[in-house]
Amino acid sequence: MRTLRTPDERFAHLPDFPYEPRYAEVSGIRMAYVEAGPADGDPIVLLHGEPSWSFLYRYVMRELAAADLRAIAVDLVGFGRSDKPAEVADHTYARHVEWTGELLLGALGLDRITMVGQDWGGLIGLRIAAEHPERIARIVAANTGLPTGDIPMPEVWHRFKDAVSKAPTLDIARFVQSGCATKLTDEVRAAYDAPFPDETYKAGPRAMPGLMPATPDNPASPANRAAWQVLTTLDVPFLVAFSDGDPITGGMAPVLMKSMKGAQGLAHPVINGAGHFLQEDAGAELGRHIAVFVTST
């Protein structure tokens, strides 16, 4: 597998993101992550989605650290400062679960994890939680789900998938902006573009929509069905923290609240005025909800 590594100078001017990158190798690939808060605290793992990176969690991390909690924001393989397999075919759902799980459970040796996932971060994080429940203390699902292909995806998702697959040039910042309710500054847009110096670095963002289990016979569908079986009976607190303005995953919020055993009896926040990337639109509010959830359970 041929991999690319984004030059460090691409990350020289990141607004509101003072965190020093850390690295670990998994299966011959260097993965990056950043931390905030006390190093000896139980970890709150923050997993981003498509086509963003850990920069998305900068406001969430600030709130968690202010509450004296340990935040760890990961760059998925193919994104951020992590190495980027150069071919779309190098990326599979199973590989992303394996890579991320190896980082968290193997290289970093984390335990009592609060798993926070948005978009693809939820698809990956929920699978890791289901496959290693003994390492999980809590789960936060934020604008995400765990599709099996048994229920059709919304039309807006099909339009996004087609746009990514057909675009000769993939405008990462534009796709992030399209998922936000607020207008991004030029500096923030540049930060989302930073991991991808040119089109050769974008195999990860191009691959992800096609990996979504959108049909019942998708290769990932059986593993996701098995994960549902575990998660719906898992006795760990499960917070559903969705925005009120996500046409892609919004319909999953009531399903998760009703289905997950750990969601029963909790007050699940709705974050108003935010889009798909609620960390960008209302990161401080999301961070405070997570902090209250962690400290009260």
Query: Catalytic positions, please?
Result: 119, 246, 276
Q: Which of 240, 268, 288 is nearest to 62 (CA)?
A: 288
- H/E element, 44: strand 43-47
Check if the beta carbon of residue 59 is closer than 8 Å to that of residue 105. no
Residue 285 CA to its chain's centroid (Å): 17
Rounded CA separation 192/80 (Å):
8
Burial of residue 140, with CB atoms counted within 10 A of its CB: 0-12 exposed, 13-18 middle, 19 or more buried: buried
278-296 and 58-66 helices cross at what angle (nearest 10)? Answer: 30
User: What is the three-state SS of 213-268?
Assistant: CCCCCCCCHHHHHHHHHHHCCCCCCEEECEECCCCCCCCHHHHHHHHCHHHCCCCC
User: Quick one: tokens of 217?
Assistant: 């016979």
Q: How many residues does the chain have?
A: 297
Sort residue 109 into left (φ over 0), alpha (ψ -120 to 50) or beta. Answer: left
